[in-house]
Amino acid sequence: MLQLGGNRAYLYETQTYSKLFSDIEIVIEKNPEKIFTLVTRIPARRLLEQLDLSELDTYWMTEQDGHNAIKPNFSSIHSIMGQSTNHTSERLVVIEGLELITDTIGPDQLLAEVAMFVDKLPSYNASCILCVDLLSLPVEIVAKLKFILDALDFSDEKIDVNIFEDETFTEPSILPGENMEYELGEDGNPRLVYLSKLPRIGFSNNILVKRILQWRRMGLDVSEIEPALKYQENDAYELYKSVEEKVRRAVDLDRFINSNSKSINASDLATDIFRLRQLTGLDELEKKYYESAN
Q: What is the set of domains in the chain, with CATH numbers?
A: 9-151 (3.40.50.300), 161-294 (no CATH)
Percent of the chain with pLDDT over 70: 86
Q: What amino acid is encoded at 71 in this protein?
A: K
State pLDDT tens for residues 248-268: 999 888 888 877 777 777 887
- Cα 203 from Cα 229, distance rounded (Å): 12
Convert 25-51 to b/e letters by CB count within 10 Å (16 or more is b).
Answer: bbbbbebeebbbbbbbebbbeebeebb
Number of Cβ within a 10 Å radius of residue 233: 14
Residue 77 has pLDDT above 80, yes or no: yes
Question: In terms of DSSP bridges, do strands 57-61 and 35-40 run parallel, antiparallel, or are they unpaired?
Answer: parallel
CA 255 to chain centre: 24
DSSP H or E run through 39: strand 35-40
CA 275 to chain centre: 24
Residue 203 has pLDDT above 80, yes or no: yes
Confidence of residue 218 (pLDDT cuts 50, 70, 90): confident
Number of Cβ within a 10 Å radius of residue 148: 15
Q: What integer pLDDT is reported at residue 257 of this predicted model? A: 83
Contact (CB, 8 A) for 134 and 103:
no
pTM above 0.75, yes or no: no
State pLDDT tens for residues 171-181: 334 444 444 44
Residue 111 has pLDDT above 80, yes or no: yes
Residue 164 has pLDDT above 90, yes or no: no
